């Protein structure tokens, strides 16, 4: 290291520096004075540049205080000083007399030019040297007491570096596994966190080696370590809001090294799954008819399991009871072969599942008795050697797509009949006076309630008609909009179903039907809803979604017209907040009545007579708050953690992306965040667990109660051939990483989230393998396709959720029922590989109105053309105008400003295109004129040429994008590109890059000539305004939001867990 002259200037003074002879203590002198002392003169034949002197009880500091040599930057001119007791190297180190004549306390040795360490000879000691402008010194332990902790960390890394160099000197061909095994205990984590230091020191070692010595940098293991170091960019400057005890745990990315990280049990299960697939596809099929025998049903005992062939396929069942008046009629509880469930070929052929289906059947055909063994959990080995022996441990709901633990009893019960009673109890159809019910709006037509439709101010009526006339030369692409007016991406906001779908009634009287009690009629008092009262949308918008008004309007309806019961409370003190709405089940409230004759809102006078409840439906979660150890895998910025964090005793996050991990830590300051590839953590957990050693004992817990998260889902090729390459690809995927964490920790519960298309990959095979693994490690599971708009979000967003509970945890948590009306609510019904259809909510629809874009972002300030891309704090445009805005700003009540409300900067051409997109529903690139213009920067934009020659040749920088016009015929006319949002529509699925020319191009603000801002995108996902996106570029922040689970949805999921 080159020497340089440095101006000596020091503000900090250590305890040595502060001492002087006037204190009566031992004299403390400066470096130059000490070097002139006769005791420290160089021996004959040497000079001050030789290593003749040592320093013990040392302290190292810079201008600001104590510092470590590791973190100092001597090359950048940092002024580093050493203070301590100076001795000659030949002095007796065992002399305990600190004030003997052979030593002297010296201050301000320095500033240092360089430091080094050596001692690569297999010994247990190190040589640490420093060099000032005047002499070289050896630092000898122990340091001063106040410096021990700082020196200990550096010394440990130096000893680890020394050990690595010595191992490679002995065997240059050492691989990574051998290296880790030879390092001292608990060195693996230190190797990862100190990798940059180790690489730097090895380079320094090689630069000073003799020509005939091994070059460590040329070894295979060093190249691997160097790759790790390059991928591990540690944060040099932590933000002020993160104190030292809040730092993110940084680790290197070892994806290229850890190609296959699986627990032993995972390997066994995955190998078994693929073996099942091969056997299913290529194995010999069981013979059916020949194996079945004719039995007399009168001889069959109750509880016997049978199977019988129908259409070349076996049906399975258990005889629950026999009927005395028939010799052949029995009641059969149906069972399904595992391969006939959604698990398909991934499950063993001797696994049965009970079902909730049953039937009365005449046993007049050939059937066979089978042996079924009930188990508490999935059998680890397939012990059955005969084709008529089976195991059963769960009940499969063919309607709702769930697998739940089977509660075995000594009595022989029909699971179909039992579940039917439970469902009847949950969704009771008996009514009493005082009940409140939901009716379809169409069933209340006789009342002729007014219904205001709230036309959007920025909607042109002509945008929905095919008869619109326009100049074809000026708008050469507008004709394309006539082709698909029946399938607009943006629904008509005047459609009744967008606002609400139900009326609410109060059962005032039950009118009996003497002939048929099930045909009773109900006399109802009909509540008015805000859309029946307020003509102006802004007045309507200010009302809570669940607000009702009592009225004297009555009607009589058949019980068959009732959709379901609902909760209505009388809010006496008018204290109803959106927080209550998020944390509680669906309910309505009222505190006023509406006089429809005089069109007046009055106070409600009959609360004592009718005795409405005055409290929300009980849903107390307090006993669960702060009780669970929760791990968020592939956590992103924390959307899913947002709902579960209140229930966390400690929240852990693993997130590979640095900026995203920092965002997580910023918003969950008490969490422990690992900025690392999850496979690396998993690798250490597995290896250290096998060696019975602790890993990250201060950070990672021994037990996890809940694992949440959703790994990035890579696209898989056709998985019907099962080559070795495809097998290896799946086993290395992040999906399997998630499964391995579950297998390792075996948490009580888990929540898995991913894109909807995961159930389609490889003809649903990836999904089947995933679910099969979960069941085989002992979990009950519930499969759901959610639609964000049905849960109070202003966005169309389908996602796959799998909720799991360990077999010993009792009841499987439910997924929250839809609360909001949404035009795409049927999208929650799904199929697996084109097979049976699943409706997890049994047709349940939400009774609250749809949340619109105006609800979501209407209160955010207007962005100016000259600073829309500037990151600055801006004042809100107005007070919250609706429940959604109040929810987003509930933690900002003391602040009148919002952060992250800015966009990425657009090119002048894109800005001009956006300016010319009309402010009307369904407006997009097809509405652009084909004209020659001059941009604000002086550039000329030519017209798009449509002759055959120019159409084939790419034309750049035209107002109508050539790439869209040239390929629209084959791409559904590129509907939505450069699309403008509508105030009373909803967002399309939010993606990670809101670019107007992408497939999700409807990202232009309803009024302003720009794309949606970071905060507007966050609002569309349900991130409250106090959730800050402080780290990364504009693109990073968009990506963090687009990849997240909506926090409002995660809150509802978490609340459902802990009912």
> For the segment 655-678, what is each residue's pLDDT rounded down to a tens digit?
999 999 999 999 999 999 999 888
Could you give the CA distance from residue 407 to residue 381 in angstroms, rounded to a whole number? 22
DSSP state, residue 1049: H
Compute the average pLDDT of residues 689-693.
Answer: 48
Could you give the CA distance from residue 525 to residue 506 in angstroms, rounded to a whole number? 5
Maximum CA extent, the chain: 125
Q: Is residue 502 within 8 Å of 563, Cβ to Cβ? A: yes
Q: State residue 870's pLDDT score.
A: 92
Mark out the alpha helices in 618-760 (DSSP H runs).
639-644, 658-667, 678-690, 724-732, 734-745
Give the end-to-end CA distance of the chain in Å, rounded to a whole number.
65
Could you give the CA distance from residue 1008 to residue 836 in angstroms, rounded to a whole number? 46
Q: Is residue 726 within 8 Å of 761, Cβ to Cβ? A: no
Residue 731 pLDDT grade (very low, low, confident, very high; cuts 50, 70, 90): low
Residues of the chain with CATH 3.40.50.150: 622-838
> For the segment 546-584, what is each residue's pLDDT rounded down to a tens digit?
999 999 999 999 888 898 899 999 887 655 555 455 666
Question: For residue 315, which of 292, 296, 294 has the smallest C-alpha distance?
Answer: 292
Task: List, as one string, the DSSP characters of 916-947.
Answer: TS-SSTT--GGG-----EE-TTS-EEBPPP-S
Q: State residue 911's pLDDT score.
A: 94
Compute the average pLDDT of residues 857-867.
Answer: 94
DSSP state, residue 350: T
Which residues, in sequence order, are CB contacts of 616 under 8 Å at separation 6+?
A: 569, 580, 584, 587
Q: Is residue 653 within 8 Å of 641, Cβ to Cβ? A: yes
pLDDT surpasses 50 at 718: no
C-alpha separations of 682 from 85, 377, 641, 687, 743 in Å: 47, 25, 20, 9, 11
For 837, phi then psi, to 5°, come to: -95, 140
Residues of the chain with CATH 3.90.120.10: 859-1049
The mean of the pLDDT values for the chain is: 80
Q: Is residue 320 within 8 Å of 305, Cβ to Cβ? A: no
Other Cβ atoms closer than 10 A to 409:
9
pLDDT surpasses 80 at 948: no
Q: Is residue 418 within 8 Å of 411, Cβ to Cβ? A: no
Work out whether strand 568-570 and strand 588-590 pair parallel, antiparallel, or are unpaired. parallel
The catalytic position among 215, 418, 713, 963 is 713
pLDDT surpasses 70 at 248: no
Residue 430 pLDDT grade (very low, low, confident, very high; cuts 50, 70, 90): confident
Question: For residue 80, which of 34, 126, 12 has the smallest C-alpha distance?
Answer: 12
pLDDT surpasses 60 at 259: no
Question: For residue 491, which of 451, 454, 509, 464 has the smallest C-alpha distance?
Answer: 464
pLDDT surpasses 60 at 362: yes
Q: State residue 24's pLDDT score.
A: 47
Could you give the CA distance from residue 42 to residue 1016 in angstroms, rounded to a whole number? 72
Most confident listed range (194-203, 254-263, 345-354, 461-470): 345-354
For every residue of 876-888, which 3-state class applies, written as one string?
CCCCCCCHHHHHH
Percent of the chain with pLDDT over 70: 77
Could you give the CA distance from residue 520 to residue 92 in angstroms, rounded to a whole number? 106
pLDDT surpasses 90 at 489: no
Could you give the CA distance from residue 925 to residue 1052 in angstroms, rounded to a whole number? 38
Which residues, in sequence order, are CB contacts of 535 under 8 Å at separation 6+?
A: 452
pLDDT surpasses 60 at 342: yes
Q: Is residue 624 within 8 Å of 1058, Cβ to Cβ? A: yes
Residues of the chain with CATH 2.30.30.490: 294-426, 436-455+464-610
Q: State residue 92's pLDDT score.
A: 61
Residues of the chain with CATH 1.10.10.2230: 15-230
Across 296-305, 419-428, 1025-1034, least confident range: 419-428
Residue 241 pLDDT grade (very low, low, confident, very high; cuts 50, 70, 90): very low
Q: State residue 65's pLDDT score.
A: 80
Other Cβ atoms closer than 10 A to 17:
17
CATH number of 622-838: 3.40.50.150
Q: State residue 243's pLDDT score.
A: 30
> For the segment 303-333, what is each residue's pLDDT rounded down to a tens digit?
899 998 888 888 999 998 888 877 788 899 9
Q: State residue 1018's pLDDT score.
A: 96
As given in the structure block, the two tokens for residue 605 are 């006078």
Compute the average pLDDT of residues 753-759.
Answer: 90
Compute the average pLDDT of residues 188-215.
Answer: 75
In terms of CATH architecture, what is 859-1049?
A: Alpha-Beta Complex (3.90)
Could you give the CA distance from residue 49 to residue 726 in angstroms, rounded to a whole number? 63
Q: Is residue 677 within 8 Å of 656, Cβ to Cβ? A: yes
pLDDT surpasses 60 at 466: no
Could you give the CA distance from residue 63 to residue 416 in angstroms, rounded to a whole number? 78
Radius of gyration for the chain, computed over Cα atoms and rounded to the nearest angstrom: 37
69 or 794: which leads in pLDDT: 794
Other Cβ atoms closer than 10 A to 347:
26
Other Cβ atoms closer than 10 A to 695:
18
What is the CATH class of 294-426? Answer: mainly beta
Q: State residue 553's pLDDT score.
A: 92
Question: For residue 1010, which of 860, 799, 869 has the smallest C-alpha distance?
Answer: 869
Mark out the alpha helices in 194-299 (DSSP H runs).
195-207, 220-231, 264-282
Compute the average pLDDT of residues 291-312.
Answer: 75
Question: For residue 1020, which of 753, 823, 784, 788 has the smallest C-alpha distance?
Answer: 788
DSSP state, residue 621: -
Is 713 catalytic? The answer is yes
Could you give the CA distance from residue 205 to residue 782 in angstroms, rounded to a whole number? 58
pLDDT surpasses 80 at 212: no
Could you give the CA distance from residue 195 to residue 215 in angstroms, rounded to a whole number? 18
Q: State residue 903's pLDDT score.
A: 95
Could you give the CA distance from residue 930 to residue 942 in angstroms, rounded to a whole number? 9
Size of the chain in residues: 1059
Q: Is residue 219 within 8 Å of 168, Cβ to Cβ? A: yes
Q: Which residue reads 């895998």 in tokens? A: 633
39 or 11: which leads in pLDDT: 39
Question: For residue 862, which of 992, 1006, 982, 985 has the smallest C-alpha distance?
Answer: 1006
Could you give the CA distance from residue 638 to residue 1031 in angstroms, rounded to a whole number? 14
What is the CATH class of 15-230? Answer: mainly alpha
Q: State residue 249's pLDDT score.
A: 60
Compute the average pLDDT of residues 336-355.
Answer: 93
CATH number of 436-455+464-610: 2.30.30.490
């Amino acid at each position: 290291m080159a020497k340089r002259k440095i101006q000596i200037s020091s503000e900090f003074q250590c305890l040595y520096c502060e001492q002087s002879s006037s204190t009566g203590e031992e004299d403390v002198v400066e470096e130059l004075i000490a070097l002139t002392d006769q005791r420290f003169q160089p021996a004959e034949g040497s000079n001050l540049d030789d290593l003749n002197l040592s320093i013990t009880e040392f302290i190292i500091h810079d201008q600001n205080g104590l510092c470590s040599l590791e973190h100092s930057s001597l090359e950048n001119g940092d002024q580093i000083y050493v203070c301590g007791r100076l001795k000659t190297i030949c002095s007796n180190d065992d002399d305990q007399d600190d004030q003997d004549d052979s030593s002297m306390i010296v201050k301000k040795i320095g500033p240092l030019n360089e430091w080094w360490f050596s001692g690569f000879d297999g010994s247990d000691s190190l040589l640490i040297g420093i060099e000032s402008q005047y002499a070289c010194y050896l630092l000898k332990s122990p340091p001063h007491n106040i410096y021990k902790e700082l020196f200990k960390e550096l010394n440990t890394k130096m000893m680890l570096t020394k050990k690595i160099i010595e191992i490679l000197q002995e065997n240059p061909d050492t691989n990574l596994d051998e290296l880790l095994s030879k390092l001292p205990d608990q060195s693996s984590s230190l190797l990862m966190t100190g990798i940059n230091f180790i690489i730097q020191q090895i380079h320094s070692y090689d630069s000073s080696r003799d020509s005939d010595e091994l070059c460590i940098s040329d070894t295979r293991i060093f190249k691997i370590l160097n790759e790790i170091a390059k991928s591990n960019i540690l944060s040099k400057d932590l933000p002020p809001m993160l104190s030292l005890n809040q730092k993110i745990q940084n680790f290197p990315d070892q994806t290229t090294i850890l190609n296959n990280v699986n627990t032993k049990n995972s390997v066994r299960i995955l190998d078994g799954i693929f073996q099942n697939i091969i056997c299913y596809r290529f194995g010999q099929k069981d013979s059916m008819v020949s194996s079945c025998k004719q039995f007399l049903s009168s001889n069959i005992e109750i509880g016997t399991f049978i199977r019988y062939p129908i259409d070349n396929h076996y049906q399975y069942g258990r005889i629950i009871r026999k009927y005395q008046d028939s010799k052949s009629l029995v009641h059969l509880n149906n069972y399904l072969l595992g391969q006939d469930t959604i698990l398909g070929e991934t499950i063993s052929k001797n696994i049965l599942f009970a079902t909730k289906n049953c039937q009365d059947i005449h046993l007049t055909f050939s059937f066979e008795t089978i042996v079924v063994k009930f188990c508490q959990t999935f059998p680890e080995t397939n012990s059955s050697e005969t084709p008529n022996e089976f195991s059963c441990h769960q009940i499969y709901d063919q309607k709702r797509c769930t697998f739940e633990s089977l509660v075995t009893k000594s009595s022989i019960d029909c699971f179909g009949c039992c579940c039917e009673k439970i469902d009847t109890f949950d969704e009771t159809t008996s009514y009493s006076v005082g009940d409140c019910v939901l009716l379809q709006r169409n069933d209340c037509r006789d009342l002729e309630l007014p219904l205001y439709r709230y036309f959007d101010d920025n909607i042109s009526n002509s945008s929905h008609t095919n008869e619109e006339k326009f100049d074809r030369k000026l708008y050469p692409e507008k004709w394309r909009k006539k082709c698909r007016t029946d399938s607009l991406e943006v629904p008509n906001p005047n459609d009744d179903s967008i606002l609400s779908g139900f009326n609410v009634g109060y059962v005032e009287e039950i009118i009996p039907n003497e002939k048929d009690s099930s045909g009773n009629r109900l006399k109802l008092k009909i509540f008015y809803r805000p859309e029946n009262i307020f003509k102006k949308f802004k007045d309507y918008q200010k009302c809570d979604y669940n607000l009702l008004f009592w009225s004297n309007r009555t009607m009589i309806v058949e019980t068959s017209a009732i959709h379901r019961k609902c909760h209505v409370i009388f809010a006496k003190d008018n204290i109803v907040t959106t927080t209550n709405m998020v944390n509680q089940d669906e309910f309505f409230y009222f505190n006023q009545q509406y006089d429809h004759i005089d069109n007046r809102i009055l106070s409600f006078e009959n609360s004592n007579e009718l005795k409405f409840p005055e409290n929300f439906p009980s849903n107390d979660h307090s006993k669960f708050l702060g009780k669970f150890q929760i791990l968020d895998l592939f956590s992103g910025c924390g959307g899913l953690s947002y709902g579960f964090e209140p229930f966390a005793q400690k929240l852990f996050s693993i997130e590979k992306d640095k900026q995203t991990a920092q965002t997580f830590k910023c918003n969950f300051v008490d969490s422990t965040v690992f900025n690392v590839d999850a496979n690396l953590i998993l690798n250490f957990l597995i290896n250290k667990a096998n060696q019975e050693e602790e890993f990250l004992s201060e950070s990672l817990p021994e037990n996890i109660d809940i694992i949440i998260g959703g790994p990035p889902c890579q696209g898989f090729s056709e998985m019907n051939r099962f080559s070795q390459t495809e097998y290896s690809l799946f086993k290395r995927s992040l999906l399997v990483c998630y499964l391995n964490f579950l297998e390792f920790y075996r948490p009580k519960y888990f929540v898995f989230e991913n894109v909807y298309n995961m159930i389609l990959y490889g003809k649903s095979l990836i999904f089947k393998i995933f679910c099969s693994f979960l069941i085989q490690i002992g979990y009950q599971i519930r499969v759901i396709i959610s639609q964000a708009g049905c849960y109070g979000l202003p966005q169309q967003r389908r996602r796959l959720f799998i909720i799991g509970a360990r077999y010993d945890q009792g009841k499987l948590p439910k997924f929250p029922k839809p609360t909001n009306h949404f035009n795409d609510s049927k999208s929650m019904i799904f199929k697996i590989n084109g097979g049976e259809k699943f409706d997890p909510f049994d047709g349940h629809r939400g009774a609250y109105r749809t949340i619109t874009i105006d609800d979501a972002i209407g209160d955010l300030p207007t962005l100016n053309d000259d600073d829309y891309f500037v990151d600055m704090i801006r004042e809100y445009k107005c007070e919250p105008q609706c429940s959604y805005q109040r929810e987003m700003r509930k933690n900002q009540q003391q602040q009148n400003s919002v952060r992250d409300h800015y966009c990425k900067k657009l090119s002048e051409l894109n800005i001009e295109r956006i300016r010319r997109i009309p402010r009307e529903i369904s407006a997009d690139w097809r509405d652009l004129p084909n004209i020659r213009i001059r941009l604000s920067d002086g550039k000329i934009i030519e017209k798009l040429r449509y002759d055959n020659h120019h159409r084939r040749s790419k034309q750049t920088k035209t107002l109508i994008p050539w790439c869209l016009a040239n390929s629209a015929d084959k791409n559904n006319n590129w509907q939505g590109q450069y699309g403008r949002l509508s105030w009373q529509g909803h967002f399309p699925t939010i993606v990670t890059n809101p670019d107007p020319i992408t497939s999700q191009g409807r990202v232009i603000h309803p009024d302003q000539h720009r794309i949606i801002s970071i905060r507007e995108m966050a609002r569309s996902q349900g991130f409250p305004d106090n959730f800050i996106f402080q780290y990364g570029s504009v693109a990073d922040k968009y990506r963090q939001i687009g990849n997240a689970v909506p926090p409002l949805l995660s809150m509802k999921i978490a609340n459902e867990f802990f009912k």
